[in-house]
Structure 1
Amino acid sequence: MKDVKYIYNPKTCQYERARLTWRDIVLTGFGILFTATLLFIGIVVLHNRFVTSDYERQLRAENKLLKEHKPVLMENLNEIETTLQKLKSEEKDLYTKLFNTTPPSEKNVAASLSKEKVLLADAGDFQSMLETLKGRSDALYDRTTDSHAATRPISEQDLAMMLSLPSILPIQNLEAEKLVSGFGKRVNPFHKGMYLHPGVDFIATRGTEVVATAPGEVNDINKNELQAGYGNSIVIDHGHGMSTRYAHLETITVRPGQKVTKGMVIGTVGSTGGSVAPHLHYEVIRDGEHVDPSLYFIEGITSRQHHQLLERNKQSNQSLD
């Protein structure tokens, strides 16, 4: 039998059975709810503290791996970005040199996978990003494979022809300002009339080394004491209809029939023959016709230097021979 609570009523001078009030009910309910809440929180804390599920252990292991590999991933991403920027710069320079114009502007396409997004991703998102990157990599590989398959491979003969092009400057570390007279109609320094200047003139001090602009064979050497013509000059046959001439030399260090390589020293700058100052007169001959040598200067210089050479080459002035 439950205990019954009685209270003394001074008005009736009797003990009467106690009745529950709303205040007692509310306080009792809050007390029970507060006690249950504290008990539930304690159970949850103890469970999280001492009980670990298989899924939690897996997540902790993944977080540890991501934390350890994050610096490596960041370093790799930085290297990739640096390489991409370098390739874009080199591609721009090559396009400018080959086509004598600035490359078309690229469309601004927002990258869906930024570096920050990858590094801040959780385990699930990180796995999804890896799958996305793998898909894009496979698609890029397929595109490049199709592109190469549709392109005719370069034959050995074509490759040899490309390697025979006189693509470097005949004087190493040459500044663009040293090109003082270009290809085309110029004023003759002797009779002051207009004539076709078949090459370009590079001013330099006596004794400056002159190099072969492409591999080939020395076809002709001319040594002339007369104050006219090319003076001491060399003609190198590069094959495939290409040859180059180096005139007004002080000394010649090669012999007829000798094989030369690109960048090999073949003589020094002088002022022999019909020359008014020490300089190198350089010509490019293709299939028996003189062509503009400045169009072939693409190796070992920047696009800015190439543009400067082209601008200097266009100036109509007096030649040095």
Structure 2
Amino acid sequence: MSKVKYYYDSETLSYRKIERKKRRTLKYITLFLSAAALFGFFFVFIASQYFESPKEKALNRELQNLKLNFELLNKKFDEAEAVLANVEDRDNNIYRLYFEANPIPEEQRKAGFGGVNRYKKFEGYDNSKLIIESNKRIDKLQKRIVVQSKSLDEIAILAKEKEKLLASIPAIQPIRNEDLTRMASGFGMRTDPFTKARKMHWGMDFTAPRGTPIYASGDGIVIRADNGAAGYGNHIRIDHGYGYVSLYAHMYKYNVRKNQKVKRGDLIGFVGSTGRSEAPHLHYEVFKDDQRINPLNFYYGSLTAEEFNELLKHASLENQSLD
């Protein structure tokens, strides 16, 4: 039960009961509630500025984790770009140089993406700049990888072609050193055994007993195995491709036939003395683009340095040829 309050009336010299008006009471209540609501609003507002709710804490932790992951991702970008730059450098300055291919220009490797804004969808966020830069780096890295991948595909093709070229060049001596009697005559001006006049000797003469094995000096296809060329007797010609042809003359007999594919080191025939020949030997010639060249320049595949020097010494002597 609420207390009754009185006040002293000086006019009547008596105590009178205080009557509370309902309107005033309602006003006080309304004022109190408004003040309470206003205080609550300010409290919530201030609290929200300085204190985090559990949900906000969780979201902020997630945001910090994403930022950390972005930083780690950018470090991985740095590492990937450094590795790719090293591969690009070796590609331009070693691989492509070795295989005689033009280097890929830097602007082609690192070209950007012009025209339409590809990153508009990432704009308008608190971390838009970070997201956009990361996506740009991904796109540029992907493009550089594609360019490098295509370059390596090209290098692989060139390497196969180079390997084929190296296997095709007539690069070994057609008769093994242990089977030779002697190196009779080399490429150059020599005395003709029949006329005794000096004339150009277009090949190399390897003296060996009749029946000594003769080997293909490079991969290729036999284009002739006959005795239809004047002076050569039984002879073989192998087309090695790339403009190279090797010729083996004065043979005793063949071990291959026309249009047969041969590999370097395959047995193709045997030493004889057919055609214009003074004694059993192999007359060996090499053609490049239909021009005879010195076979001595191609023996890197079968001789040691000492053997080559010895061969060079004998081949340089201006003696009498055997054909």
SS of equivalent residue, structure 2 residue 301? coil
**Structure 1 stretches of at least 4 aligned residues deviating more than 6 Å after TM superposition:** 142-145
Q: How far apart, CA to CA, are the structure 2 residues paired with 1:302 and 1:144?
A: 36
Partner of 1:298: 300
In 1, Cα distance between equivalents of 2:175 and 2:270: 9
Q: Name the aligned partner's letter for residue 173 of structure 1.
A: N
Write the distance in 1 (CA, Å) between the matches of 2:249 and 2:272.
9
Aligned to 1:150: 93
State the AA in 1 paired with 2:184. Answer: V
Q: Percent identity?
A: 41
Q: Does the 8 Å CA contact 1:231/1:274 hold for their aligned counterparts?
A: yes
**Which residue of structure 2 aligns with residue 256 of structure 1?**
258
Report how far residue 163 of structure 1 moved: 2.0
CA contact (8 A) 1:188 1:195 kept: yes
SS of the residue corresponding to residue 298 of structure 1 reads helix
Per the alignment, residue 190 of structure 1 pairs with: 194
Partner of 1:274: 276
**1: CA distance, partners of 2:226 / 2:196:** 26
RMSD of aligned Cα (Å): 2.4
TM-score (norm 1): 0.52
Change (3 A) 1:174 1:143: farther
1:220 to partner: Cα distance: 0.9
Alpha carbons 1:232, 1:247 under 8 Å: kept? yes
Are 1:177 and 1:312, in contact at CA under 8 Å, matched by a contact in 2? Answer: no
CA shift in 2, pair 1:143/1:171, >3 Å: farther
Which residue does the alignment assign to 1:310?
312
Letter in 2 for 1:270: G
Matches of 1:207 and 1:237, distance apart in 2: 24
Residue type matched to 2:93 in 1?
A
Asked if 2 retains the 8 angstrom alpha-carbon contact of 1:250 and 1:268, the reply is yes
Q: Secondary structure at the match of 2:270?
A: strand
Counterpart CA distance in 2 for 1:255 and 1:300 is 25
Q: 2:251, 2:269 within 8 Å by CA — same for their partners in 1?
A: yes
What are the Cα deviations for residues 250-281 of structure 1, in whole angstroms up to 9, with x where unaligned?
A: 01111100001110111000000010000000
Distance 1:189 1:150 in 2: 53
Q: Secondary structure at the match of 1:237?
A: strand
Distance 1:146 1:181, change over 3 A: same
Residue in structure 1 matched with residue 236 of structure 2 by the alignment: 234
Q: Which ranges of structure 2 fall in alignment gaps of 5 or more residues?
A: 1-84, 100-157
Secondary structure in structure 2 of the residue aligned to 1:168: coil
Q: 1:293 to 1:184 in 2, by over 3 A?
A: same
Q: Distance in 2 between matches of 1:317 and 1:201?
A: 11
**Match for residue 209 of structure 2 among 198, 205, 218:** 205
Q: For 1:174 and 1:145, how far apart are their aligned partners in 2? A: 48
Which residue does the alignment assign to 2:78? Answer: none
Which amino acid in the other structure matches residue 185 of structure 1?
M
Aligned partners of 1:171 and 1:232: how far apart in 2?
17
Letter of the structure 2 residue corresponding to residue 158 of structure 1: K
Q: TM-score, normalised by structure 2?
A: 0.51
Indicate conservation of the 8 Å contact 1:176/1:308, yes or no: no
Paired residues, what number? 178
Query: Could you tell me which residue of structure 1 aligns to residue 120 of structure 2?
Result: none
CA distance in 2, matches of 1:262, 1:244: 12
Distance in 2 of aligned mates of 1:266 and 1:238: 14
Question: Amino acid of the residue matched to residue 176 of structure 2?
Answer: Q
Q: Give distance in 2, aligned partners of 1:300 and 1:144.
A: 35
Contact 2:226 2:236 in 1 (8 A): yes
* Structure-1 separation of matches of 2:242 and 2:89: 31
Contact 1:253–1:267 under 8 Å retained in 2: yes
C-alpha contact 2:193 2:321 (8 A) present in aligned 1: yes
- Give the whole-Å Cα distance in 2 for the aligned partners of 1:286 and 1:170: 17
Cα pair distance change 1:147/1:251, threshold 3 Å: same
Q: Secondary structure at the match of 1:274?
A: coil
1:309 alignment partner AA: L
In structure 2, the residue corresponding to 1:280 is in which secondary structure?
A: strand
Name the CA shift for 1:176/1:306 in 2 (closer, same or farther; >3 Å): farther
Q: Secondary structure at the match of 1:297?
A: helix
Q: Mark the structure with the bigger radius of gyration.
A: 2
Q: Is the contact between residue 193 and residue 322 of structure 2 (CA under 8 Å) also seen in structure 1?
A: yes
| Structure-2 separation of matches of 1:174 and 1:217 | 27
SS at match of 1:150: helix
